[in-house]
């Protein structure tokens, strides 16, 4: 079972997810190729890991590459994946110094072997670190994750059953337990940069009761102050989870 997350960490969200959008538009604005935006976006991501960790956030999910992003030009796709590899190779010292644990969410089977290998290595090398956990959502799609979870759950049940006793139906708990990182509590706050009001297949199951925060700024322009504002906005929300808050009706 995942740890219960009642959102109590003061008014600081325990788990923050970020849809890091707007790299292409940031570059276009400057007459640069889209790849320049991704390079700058990586720098922002590195800064934001530190900013989030300094603010006591326990889990930071970063949407790096979606299951739909393969539709982009081959050159852009390989550039992004190359940046990820470089990040994983170069930032291990930073992770070690700050005790940051690296995790992955998404479809590992669909990733090039060298990238998958680096991710596995980073996850393995940092698995005992007790600082903030950074979840890299890479080749991640919420629908894909749910389908993979359901298939794992069915396989598991069928493994233990015989003939007609085979699976009749799955519970929410079973689906939850076979998601990519079932030990991680659901996100409290999901931020999207670059002004789009959509979820683009990010944490569909886990974000059922997340608070959403949309920033107009492009991701490469994001700063610690922007994160501070998002957390401030979160702190003022009335999270009801379908119930009624005493004194507020």
User: What's the min distance (Å) between Cβ of 111 and ligand IPE?
Assistant: 14
Strand order in the sheet with 59-66: 101-105, 133-140, 59-66, 15-19, 189-192, 211-214
Give the dihedral of Cα atoms 173, 177, 179, 180; nearest 10 deg. 160
Q: Which is nearer to ligand IPE, 66 or 133 (CB)?
A: 66
Site for ligand IPE in 197-226 (CB under 6 A): 198, 200
Q: Which is nearer to ligand IPE, 5 or 44 (CB)?
A: 44
* Residue 200: CB minimum distance to Mg ion, A: 8
Residue 105 pairs in a beta bridge with 137
d(CA 216, CA 243): 31
* CA 41/CA 64 separation, integer angstroms: 10
80 binds, among Mg ion, ligand IPE, none (CB under 5 to 8 A by kind): ligand IPE
Based on the shown chain and the rule CB under 6 A, indicate whether residue 24 belongs to the binding site for ligand IPE: yes
Told to check if 190 binds ligand IPE by CB under 6 A, we report no
d(CA 228, CA 223): 9
User: Using the rule CB under 5 A, is 226 a contact of Mg ion?
Assistant: no
For 128, which DSSP code?
A: T
- CB of residue 30 vs ligand IPE: minimum separation in angstroms? 12
Residues lying near ligand IPE in the complex (CB under 6 A): 19-25, 63-66, 69, 80, 194, 196, 198, 200
Active site residues: 21, 69
């Amino acid at each position: 079972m995942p740890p219960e997350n009642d959102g109590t960490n003061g008014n600081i969200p325990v788990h923050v997810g970020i849809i890091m959008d707007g790299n292409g538009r940031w570059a276009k604005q400057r007459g640069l190729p889209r790849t320049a935006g991704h390079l700058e976006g990586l720098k922002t991501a590195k800064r934001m890991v530190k900013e989030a960790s300094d603010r006591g956030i326990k889990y930071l999910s970063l949407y790096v590459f979606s299951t739909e992003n393969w539709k982009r030009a081959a050159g852009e796709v390989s550039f992004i994946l190359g940046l990820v590899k470089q990040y994983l190779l170069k930032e291990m010292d930073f992770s070690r110094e700050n005790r940051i644990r690296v995790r992955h969410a998404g479809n590992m089977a669909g990733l090039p072997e060298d990238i998958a290998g680096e991710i596995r290595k980073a996850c393995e090398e940092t698995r005992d670190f007790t600082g903030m956990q950074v979840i890299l959502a890479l080749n991640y799609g919420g629908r894909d994750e749910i389908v993979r979870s359901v298939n794992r759950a069915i396989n598991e049940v069928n493994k233990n059953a015989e003939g007609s006793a085979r699976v009749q139906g799955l519970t929410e708990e079973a689906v939850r337990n076979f998601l990519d990182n079932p030990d991680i509590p659901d996100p409290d706050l999901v931020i999207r940069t670059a002004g789009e009001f959509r979820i683009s297949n990010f944490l569909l199951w886990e974000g059922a009761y997340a608070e959403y925060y949309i920033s107009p700024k492009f991701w490469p322009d994001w700063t610690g102050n922007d994160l501070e504002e998002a957390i401030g906005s979160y702190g003022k929300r009335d999270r009801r989870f379908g119930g009624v808050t005493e004194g507020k009706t």
